[in-house]
Amino acid sequence: MPIAFTVTHRDSAARVGVLTTPHGSADTPAFMPVGTAATVKGLTPDQLAAVGARIVLGNTYHLALRPGDELVAELGGLHRFMGWGGPILTDSGGFQVFSLAGTRAVTDDGVKFKSHLDGSPLELTPERAVDIQQNLGSDIAMVLDECPPADAPEPVMRNAIRRTLVWAERCKTHHSRANQALFAIVQGGTNVGFRADCAKELVGMDFPGYALGGFSVGEAPEAMHAALPECAALLPETKPRYLMGVGRPEDLLAGVAAGIDMFDCVMPTRSGRNALAFTSDGTLKLRNAKHRRDPAPVSSDCGCYCCANFSRAYLHHLFAAEEMLGPTLLSLHNLAYYLKLMDDARSAIRTGTFAAFREACLARWNPAT
């Protein structure tokens, strides 16, 4: 098998495990920083490793457009190309079916995009999505799926599930890279019945891992939190479960409570680039004038490079002066915070105190100031 997964501790539905890949292991539940274009924006691989990242993401659609998957393969694969020696997961481009709805056309054969860069055509069939990811050489590849919006009417949702199932089978048939695991993606919105129908078919295809796609695409967070426990329980106990693209801290803890093992989102780095910091007491808007003379670190209980060396006043100055160091430092801090949150969650699960840990976190998080 290209990957191995072992659950070591349980606390109700929440669980701790170890995911082992050809490029190393990651403890779960794990947050995976997003490196869409073969880089986690503004950060070096050494910085990512220093804050505790063990597995990162790349994106099929974006890397196929630029620089091209064949070029990445020619230069030794994605790990060598981006200088990251740890595990890499690549998304299939299925989320772009949702996010780029105005520039694509979907048929049963696949998806035809107009490049967001220059309008040139890019066609993603299930087979092409697999070929791109095999050229990239990621440790975990994802099947091509259709991700509908949360408010899609029932016929649209059912058709997206049908396509997702057909495309998953085509991806599995076409996939041939022995050192790469191919994960399936369950769709169905917040309708647990739809999710159950989709999951049953995919579990029957026996993939090495399973993801829940189509969350955080317009539904209320409360609706997602309510659906997650039943949706996660549809997936095999012995295989990793991945909640795609969901990234508020409170959403991560809801996912962990439901038994999810893997998470990714651009939120910590995108927020860092926009002067928003995550802390154990809530969020901070570093552009606010109240921070202009503040000598305190972003977070007094964080040991990251940013918090150990710089003040809120300095971060406020960097953003006011539009210096690139500001987004870098705050992205670094936010990832350190997210990764520490997962580390603390794992510790709480090991000691059987996760419910109390989650409740304490939620009680401390305040609106941005």
How does pLDDT run along the chain (369 residues), one tens digit per residue?
799 999 999 999 999 999 999 999 999 999 999 999 999 999 999 999 999 999 999 999 999 999 999 999 999 999 999 999 999 999 998 899 889 999 999 999 999 999 989 999 999 999 999 999 999 999 999 999 999 999 999 999 999 999 999 999 999 999 999 999 999 999 999 999 999 999 999 999 999 999 999 999 999 999 999 999 999 999 999 999 999 999 999 999 999 999 999 999 999 999 999 999 999 999 999 999 999 999 999 999 999 999 999 999 999 999 999 999 999 999 999 999 999 999 999 999 999 999 999 999 999 997 777
Among residues 214, 241, 216, which one has the least CA distance to residue 229?
Answer: 241
Domain ranges, ordered by start, for the chain: 4-265, 272-364
How far does the chain reach from its first CA to its final CA, in angstroms? 48
Among residues 50, 133, 49, 39, which one has the least CA distance to residue 81?
Answer: 39
CA–CA gap between residue 252 and residue 268 (Å, rounded): 12
Instruction: Give backbone dihedrals phi and psi of 343, rounded to 5 degrees, phi first.
Output: -65, -45
- Position 345: which residue type? A
CA–CA gap between residue 64 and residue 73 (Å, rounded): 11
The two structure tokens encoding residue 178:
């022995």
Considering only the C-alpha atoms of the chain, give the largest distance between any 2 of them, rounded to a whole number of Å: 60
pLDDT of 234? 98
Q: What superfamily does domain 4-265 belong to in CATH?
A: Queuine tRNA-ribosyltransferase-like (3.20.20.105)
pLDDT of 53? 98
CA–CA gap between residue 341 and residue 282 (Å, rounded): 13
Question: Packing angle between helix 221-233 and helix 192-205, nearest 10 degrees?
Answer: 40
CA–CA gap between residue 324 and residue 62 (Å, rounded): 23
CA dihedral sign, ordered 278, 279, 285, 291? negative
Among residues 92, 196, 73, which one has the least CA distance to residue 147?
Answer: 92
Cis peptide before 229 (omega within 30 of 0): no
pLDDT of 115? 93
Whether this model's pTM surpasses 0.85: yes
Please, which contacts does 107-115 make with residues 24 or more away whose CB atoms are closer than 8 Å?
A: 108/163, 108/166, 110/144, 110/167, 111/144, 111/146, 113/61, 115/65
Estimate to the nearest angstrom the gap between the alpha carbon of 245 and the chain centroid.
Answer: 5
DSSP string, 92-138: -SHHHHHHTGGGEEE-SS-EEEE-TTT--EEEE-HHHHHHHHHHHT-
pLDDT of 369? 78
| Element (DSSP H or E) covering residue 255 | helix 249-258
pLDDT of 75? 98
Q: Which residues are catalytic?
A: 91, 264
